[in-house]
C-alpha cells in the first residue's frame, strides 16, 4: 500500500525540454512494435503529428443523444474530415460503410448507462474486437470512483495485453470522477495511470495547467470536447489544448451537436493541423455554415 500521508505532487515537469521524437514522430511510441507504430501513423497526421478523432460512442451510455439520432445521417458524412472514427461495435457495423478507410478507434468497454450509478464495466471479447479491424481500441478508467476504479483499471490493463498481442494501440479514456476536483492534479493522475498501464494514447479533459498533464503523460494526449459549447468556445478549447502540447482532439458533442457539423469539424481540423487561431477557424465554420 502506498503511503498516503506524504504525497508530494510533482512540480518539475521539464516544460522546456521536449520529449525526443527524432526516432518516431509521436512521443513515447518508439519502443513499441511495428504494428502499433503503423496503426498510430494511420491515426496521427504525419505532418502535424496530431489527430482529429470524431467520437460518437455516446449512445452506449446515453442512448440517442441529440446529434446522434441517426448515425448513418449524422456521422457518416463527417468521416471524410476526421482522421479517425471512435465508436462502438453496434453503431459502426450498422452505420459506417465497410468501404470506409478511415481508421476506427473501437470502444471496447461497456456495462454502464446514465440511468444507474456507474456499475462494473466489462470488455468485449478480443476476437470480436479484432473483427472490427480497429486501428486502436479504447476503454475508460474511472480514477477515484471507489466502486469502479479497480474494475476499470483491471479491464484497461487486460485490454492493453490484448492490444499488445495483436499490435493494436489502446487509448485510455479518463472518466471524470464524481467527487474529484476536475483540475490538472486529478487529470495528471488519471492520464498517468492510463500511460503507466500501457496506453498508447490518452484521452482526457482540458483544464487550467494542462501543460503539466501533457508533460507528465509520456504518450500522445487528446482531449474530449465535453458538453456542447458555443462554436467559438469549443475552438478556443481545442486551441488552448494544442498550445499546451495536446496531440489533437477526440471530440463528439461539440461537432455533431453544432448547427453545422460539417463546417465545425473542418474548423476544428484547422486549429489542430494548421495551427489556426480560434477566430480564424471560426471563419471556416461561418463560411461552411452559410454554404450548408
**Is there a catalytic annotation at residue 178?**
no
Catalytic residue among 27, 37, 203, 289: 203
**Number of chain residues interacting with ligand 5RP (CB under 6 A):** 13
Q: Please give the torsion angle defined by the CA atoms of residues 127, 130, 132 and 136, in that order, rounded to the nearest 10 degrees.
A: 140
Closer residue to ligand 5RP in complex, CB, 136/173: 173
Closest CB 19 distance from ligand 5RP, rounded Å? 25
Alpha carbon separation from 111 to 82, 115, 123 (Å, rounded): 28, 11, 9
**Cα–Cα distance for residue pair 228/121, rounded to 1 Å:** 26
x/- mask, ligand 5RP, residues 196-235, rule CB under 6 A, reads ----------------------------xxx---------
- 55 lies in the site for ligand 5RP, by CB under 6 A: yes
**Phi and psi at residue 204, to the nearest 5°:** -145, -165
Binding segment toward ligand 5RP, per CB under 6 A, in 30-38, 118-126, 244-252, 258-266:
244-252
The contacts of residue 57 (CB under 8 Å, 6+ apart) are 86, 87, 88, 91, 107, 138, 252
- 173 lies in the site for ligand 5RP, by CB under 6 A: yes
Residue 208 · residue 183 · CB < 8 Å: yes
Q: Rule CB under 6 A: choose which of 253, 258, 261, 282 binds ligand 5RP.
A: 253
DSSP state of 245: T
Closest CB 222 distance from ligand 5RP, rounded Å? 10
- 42 lies in the site for ligand 5RP, by CB under 6 A: no
- 57 lies in the site for ligand 5RP, by CB under 6 A: yes
- 109 lies in the site for ligand 5RP, by CB under 6 A: no
Alpha carbon separation from 226 to 5, 112, 133, 207 (Å, rounded): 33, 18, 27, 12
Binding site for ligand 5RP (CB under 6 A): 55, 57-58, 140, 173, 224-226, 250-254
Where in the sequence numbering do the catalytic residues fall?
A: 203
Amino acid at each position: 500500500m502506498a503511503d498516503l500521508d506524504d504525497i508530494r505532487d510533482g512540480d518539475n515537469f521539464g516544460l522546456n525540454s521536449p520529449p525526443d521524437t527524432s526516432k518516431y514522430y509521436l512521443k513515447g511510441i518508439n519502443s513499441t512494435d511495428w504494428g502499433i507504430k503503423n496503426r498510430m501513423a494511420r491515426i496521427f497526421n504525419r505532418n502535424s503529428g496530431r489527430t482529429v478523432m470524431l467520437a460518437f460512442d455516446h449512445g452506449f451510455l446515453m442512448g440517442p443523444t441529440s446529434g446522434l439520432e441517426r448515425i448513418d445521417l449524422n456521422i457518416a458524412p463527417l468521416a471524410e474530415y476526421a482522421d479517425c472514427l471512435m465508436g462502438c461495435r453496434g453503431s459502426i457495423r450498422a452505420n459506417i460503410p465497410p468501404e470506409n478507410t478511415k481508421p476506427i478507434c473501437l470502444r471496447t468497454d461497456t456495462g454502464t448507462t446514465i440511468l444507474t450509478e456507474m456499475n462494473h464495466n466489462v470488455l468485449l471479447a478480443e476476437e470480436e474486437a479484432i473483427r472490427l479491424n480497429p486501428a486502436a481500441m479504447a476503454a475508460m478508467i474511472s480514477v477515484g470512483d471507489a466502486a469502479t476504479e479497480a474494475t476499470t483499471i483491471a479491464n484497461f490493463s487486460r485490454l492493453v495485453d490484448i492490444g499488445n498481442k495483436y499490435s493494436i494501440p489502446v487509448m485510455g479514456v479518463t472518466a471524470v470522477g464524481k467527487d474529484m476536483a476536475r483540475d490538472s492534479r486529478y487529470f495528471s493522475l488519471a492520464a498517468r495511470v492510463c500511460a503507466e498501464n500501457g496506453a498508447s494514447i490518452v484521452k482526457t479533459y482540458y483544464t487550467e495547467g494542462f501543460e503539466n498533464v501533457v508533460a507528465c503523460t509520456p504518450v500522445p494526449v487528446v482531449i474530449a470536447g465535453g458538453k456542447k459549447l458555443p462554436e467559438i468556445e469549443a475552438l478556443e478549447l481545442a486551441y488552448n489544448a494544442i498550445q499546451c502540447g495536446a496531440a489533437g482532439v477526440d471530440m463528439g458533442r461539440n461537432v455533431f451537436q453544432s448547427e453545422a457539423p460539417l463546417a465545425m469539424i473542418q474548423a476544428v481540423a484547422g486549429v489542430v493541423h494548421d495551427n489556426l487561431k480560434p477566430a480564424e477557424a471560426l471563419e471556416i465554420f461561418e463560411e461552411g455554415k452559410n454554404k450548408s
